Amino acid sequence: MKTGEKGSQGIVGSKERLRLLYLFFIFLAMGWRVARNLLLTGLFFKLLGDYMAVREFRIAGALFALFGIGVGVVSLFFGY
């Protein structure tokens, strides 16, 4: 069979394409939600560390924020 003929394995059906598109956007939304939560957690720890003058909280806040940025970049490029 030639590509494009009925029954060919070369073309993905429209329902399958739509399903893959839905999954892509669901994974993208989940990735951004996780990134946002990590950034907010990092900001909370940073502010708590500044308020209480605890160096470890400030370091933890920076690490959470960096990890959140990393998750956001990965979700942007790979759709996770």
Q: Give the start-to-end residue ranges of the domains of the chain.
A: 23-78
Residues of the chain with pLDDT under 70: 1-31, 79-80
State pTM to two decimals: 0.47
Specify the pLDDT at position 72: 73
Contact assessment for residue 48 and residue 61, using Cβ atoms and an 8 Å cutoff: yes
Specify the pLDDT at position 27: 60
Rounded distance between C-alpha atoms, residue 37 and residue 50, angstroms: 20
